[in-house]
A and B are shown apart, each in its own frame.
Chain A
Amino acid sequence: MSAHEITLTVNGEEVRETVEPRTTLVDFLRDTLGLTGSHVGCEHGVCGACSVRLDGAVVRGCLTLAVQCDGHMVETIEGASDSGALADLQEAFRTRNALQCGYCTPAMLLTAAELLAAGGVPSRAAIREHLSGNYCRCTGYHAIVDAVEAVARARAGATS
Chain B
Amino acid sequence: MKPAPFDYARARSVEHAVELLGREGARLLAGGQSLIATLNMRLSHPSLLVDINEVAGLDRLARRNGHIEICALVRLAQAERSAELVQAAPLIARALPHIGHPAIRNRGTIGGSIAFADPAAELPACLLALDGEVEIVGPAGKRTVKADDFFQGLFETALGPCDVLIAIRLPAATRDNRVGFAELARRHGDYAMVGLAAAARASGTKLADVRLAFFGVGATPVRARNAEAALAAGDVEAGVKALAQDLGPPDDVLATGAVKKHLAGVLLRRVARQLNEAPP
Contact (Cβ within 8 A) A57 B77: yes
Q: Which of A23, A58, A64 contacts B102 (CB 8 A)?
A: A58
> In whole angstroms, what is the CA distance A54 to B104 when docked?
12
Q: Binary interface profile of A, 1-45, with partner B (CB < 8 Å = 1, else 0)?
A: 110100000000000000011111001000000000000000111
Contact (Cβ within 8 A) B1 A24: yes
Contact (Cβ within 8 A) B5 A1: yes
Number of chain A interface residues as a range: 20 to 34
Contact (Cβ within 8 A) A24 B40: yes
Closest chain-B Cβ to A69's Cβ sits at a distance in Å of 10
| A152 close to chain B: CB less than 8 A | no
Contact (Cβ within 8 A) B104 A62: no
Contact (Cβ within 8 A) B101 A133: yes
Contact (Cβ within 8 A) B102 A111: yes
Q: Which residues in A have their C-beta under 8 angstroms from that of B41? A: 44
> In whole angstroms, what is the CA distance A48 to B41 when docked?
16
Contact (Cβ within 8 A) B32 A65: yes
Contact count A vs B, C-beta below 8 Å? 90
Q: Which residues in B have their C-beta under 8 angstroms from that of A62? A: 36, 40
Contact (Cβ within 8 A) B37 A48: no
Q: Which of A27, A64, A111 contacts B107 (CB 8 A)?
A: A64
Q: Which of B1-30 contact A (CB under 8 A)?
A: 1-8, 29
Known contacts being A22-B3, A43-B2, is A65 close to B36, with CB within 8 Å? yes
A71 to chain B: closest residue by CB? B54
Q: Which residues in B have their C-beta under 8 angstroms from that of A60? A: 33, 103-104, 107
Q: Which of A20, A23, A45, A130 contacts B33 (CB 8 A)?
A: A45
Closest chain-A Cβ to B28's Cβ sits at a distance in Å of 13
Closest chain-B Cβ to A70's Cβ sits at a distance in Å of 8
Closest chain-A Cβ to B16's Cβ sits at a distance in Å of 16
> In whole angstroms, what is the CA distance A62 to B51 when docked?
17
Contact (Cβ within 8 A) A64 B36: yes
22 A–B contacts, CB within 8 A, in A order? A1-B6, A4-B8, A21-B49, A22-B4, A24-B1, A24-B3, A43-B2, A44-B40, A45-B36, A57-B77, A58-B106, A60-B33, A62-B40, A63-B104, A64-B36, A65-B32, A65-B36, A111-B102, A114-B102, A129-B188, A133-B104, A133-B189
Query: Known pairs A45-B100, A60-B103, A63-B107. 17 more at Cβ < 8 A?
Result: A1-B7, A4-B8, A22-B3, A24-B1, A24-B36, A45-B37, A48-B103, A58-B103, A60-B104, A62-B36, A62-B40, A63-B32, A68-B51, A68-B53, A132-B187, A133-B104, A134-B101
